[in-house]
């Protein structure tokens, strides 16, 4: 697949606009369609401004900006997309609506066209179920903002052709992205493996072991994370983070490891959504005074250790279940959510025996399945193996 393939993007919201920009920057002719008549002109207007700023900053010449913008073609009718080689869907996150769109698209497109979905929480296999040729359907899960964040999770459904997955990986590389391949399971890699970053942090807070500022401080100052869990939840939006947590929990048939917290639900119910509402776990009003974190080094180390072993356990379990390879799991967390280190590499450095002992200790203390160690972790300790 090269620059000559014709791309179409459906849904001109946050993600679709970013994906259309990327495809145009990579040299493709891109059609953009949205069910809402205002959305495409608004998206293209926004992109003109984005490129105007890049020209102002000297990052792009006026000619180059004009060429890229010229590749973007608004479409007022789904039928205009006939003849596209690759269609990327980024519409509302609703299974029946996506299925109907995929069935309609398949009737329009050439038989060998590739149909991709940017869904973050639905099953690619379920969406492909609406198609007569599900082997041509794949998940291409970009991260927001799509033009800037390098990671793309490439998600074949259970009947997707191996060649479709290989072509998608190759195409994402030509777009300058870092693609990883993962199984069609809830949360894919990042949204699954990252759950304890939030969940265990909230749990530590709920138990009164530390306040939010201190928990964030531990993760940043000792862990090397760019942001702490609470400030990151405030940035993502507590409503969005809570929705992802609930959806992963339900999709795993209520596995206690992914159980959402009442603390987060209360935040959402009270409208404390984070930065966007001016207040979340922290206050973003002008003049608001931030509390100081505890300087108790032992407490900070305990906080980091507890959250980190939970993250490591999640990554090990994902490897155990064949969700992704060792390298892709580590790449996903460093490129998708900026973790300072891959979790499996971190596990080796920390010592697998220590990770296992910490989890066993937590499980014995709480008696909760939430802390059950992955069988792979136990086996590796028994066999004295490491991931790298
Ligand atoms: P958005 O709400 O910003 O945009 C969705 C657009 O789709 C709207 O313009 C809407 O008019 C249009 N639309 C709805 N139904 C349609 C239909 N049947 N046909 C054509 N257009 C239709 O949503 P956003 O945030 O861009 O998300 C889109 C998809 O990307 C969802 O599946 C979401 O789960 C996924 N996603 C979102 C991320 C995010 O951070 N916002 C990150 C990664 C994936």
Could you read off the pLDDT of 291-313 as tens digits, one per residue? 999 999 999 999 999 999 999 99
Please spell the DSSP secondary structure of 14-27, one letter per residue.
Answer: HHHHHHHHHHHHTT
pLDDT of 234 strictly over 90: yes
Q: Which CATH class is domain 192-382?
A: mainly alpha
- Rounded alpha-carbon distances, angstroms, from residue 240 to 16, 127, 144, 273, 360: 18, 22, 13, 9, 32
Q: What's the rounded Cα separation, in Å, for the pair 114 and 130?
A: 15
Tell me the average pLDDT across 16-31: 97
Closest ligand 1 atom, CA of 39?
A: 9
Confidence (pLDDT) at 314: 98
Confidence (pLDDT) at 289: 87
Closest ligand 1 atom, CA of 121?
A: 34
Q: Write the pLDDT tens digit of every residue in 178-233.
A: 999 999 999 999 999 999 999 999 999 999 999 999 999 999 999 999 999 999 99
Pick one of 3.40.50.150, 3.20.10.10, 3.40.50.2000, 3.40.50.720 as the CATH number of 7-181. 3.40.50.720
Q: State what percent of residues in the chain have pLDDT above 90.
A: 96
Rg (CA), the chain: 22
Q: What's the rounded Cα separation, in Å, for the pair 87 and 107?
A: 13
Q: Which residues line ligand 1 (CB under 6 A)?
A: 10-16, 34-36, 39, 90-93, 97, 101, 118-120, 142-144
How do 72-75 and 178-181 pair as beta strands? unpaired
Closest ligand 1 atom, CA of 12?
A: 9
Confidence (pLDDT) at 290: 87
Evaluate the CA torsion angle 305, 311, 317, 322 in order and state its sign. negative
pLDDT of 246 strictly over 80: yes
Across the chain, what does the average pLDDT equal?
96
Q: Write the pLDDT tens digit of every residue in 83-123.
A: 999 999 999 999 999 999 999 999 999 999 999 999 999 99
Tell me how far the alpha carbon of residue 92 lies from the centroid of ligand 1, in angstroms: 4
Confidence (pLDDT) at 331: 97
pLDDT of 1 strictly over 80: no
Q: Write the pLDDT tens digit of every residue in 326-380.
A: 999 999 999 999 999 999 999 999 999 999 999 999 999 999 999 999 999 999 9
Domain boundaries, the chain: 7-181, 192-382
Confidence (pLDDT) at 15: 95
Q: What's the rounded Cα separation, in Å, for the pair 278 and 275?
A: 5
* Catalytic residue ranges: 120, 141, 153, 191
Confidence (pLDDT) at 241: 93
Using pLDDT thresholds of 50, 70 and 90, give the confidence band for residue 137: very high
Tokens of 338: 């900026």
Using pLDDT thresholds of 50, 70 and 90, give the confidence band for residue 54: very high
Tell me how far the alpha carbon of residue 377 lies from the centroid of ligand 1, in angstroms: 38
Tell me the average pLDDT across 59-72: 96
Confidence (pLDDT) at 131: 96
Tokens of 48: 């003109």
Tell me the average pLDDT across 248-252: 94
Q: What's the rounded Cα separation, in Å, for the pair 133 and 136?
A: 6
């Amino acid at each position: 697949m090269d620059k000559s393939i014709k791309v179409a993007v459906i849904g001109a919201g946050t993600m679709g606009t970013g994906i259309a920009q990327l495809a145009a920057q990579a040299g493709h002719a891109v059609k953009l369609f949205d069910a809402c008549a205002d959305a495409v002109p608004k998206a293209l207007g926004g992109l003109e401004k984005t490129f105007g700023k890049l020209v102002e900053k000297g990052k792009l010449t006026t000619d180059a900006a004009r060429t890229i913008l010229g590749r973007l073609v608004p479409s007022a009718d789904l039928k205009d997309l006939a003849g596209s080689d690759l269609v990327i869907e980024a519409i509302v996150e609703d299974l029946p609506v996506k299925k109907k769109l995929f069935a309609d698209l398949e009737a329009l497109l050439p038989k060998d066209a590739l149909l991709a979905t940017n869904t973050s929480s639905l099953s690619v296999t379920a969406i492909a179920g609406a198609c007569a040729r599900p082997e041509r359907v794949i998940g291409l899960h970009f991260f927001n903002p799509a033009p800037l964040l390098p990671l793309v999770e490439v998600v074949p459904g259970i009947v997707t052709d191996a060649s479709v997955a290989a072509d998608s990986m190759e195409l994402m590389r030509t777009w300058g992205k870092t693609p990883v391949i993962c199984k069609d399971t809830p949360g894919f890699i990042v949204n699954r493996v990252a759950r304890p970053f939030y969940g265990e942090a909230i749990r530590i807070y709920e138990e009164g072991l530390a306040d939010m500022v201190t928990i964030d401080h531990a993760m940043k100052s000792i862990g090397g994370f760019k942001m702490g869990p609470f400030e990151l939840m405030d940035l993502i939006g507590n409503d969005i983070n809570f929705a992802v947590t609930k959806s992963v929990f339900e999709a795993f048939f209520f596995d206690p490891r992914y159980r959402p917290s009442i603390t987060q639900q209360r935040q959402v119910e009270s409208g404390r959504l984070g930065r966007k509402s001016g207040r979340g776990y922290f206050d973003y009003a002008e003049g608001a005074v931030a509390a100081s974190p505890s300087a108790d080094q032992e407490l900070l180390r305990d906080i980091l250790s507890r959250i980190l072993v939970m993250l490591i356990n999640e990554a090990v379990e994902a490897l155990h279940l064949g969700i992704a390879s060792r390298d892709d799991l580590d790449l996903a967390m460093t490129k998708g959510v900026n973790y300072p280190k891959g979790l499996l590499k971190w596990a080796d450095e920390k010592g697998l025996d220590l990770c296992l002992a910490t989890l066993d200790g937590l499980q014995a203390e709480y008696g909760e399945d939430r802390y059950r160690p992955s069988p792979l972790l136990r086996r590796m300790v028994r066999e004295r193996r490491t991931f790298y």
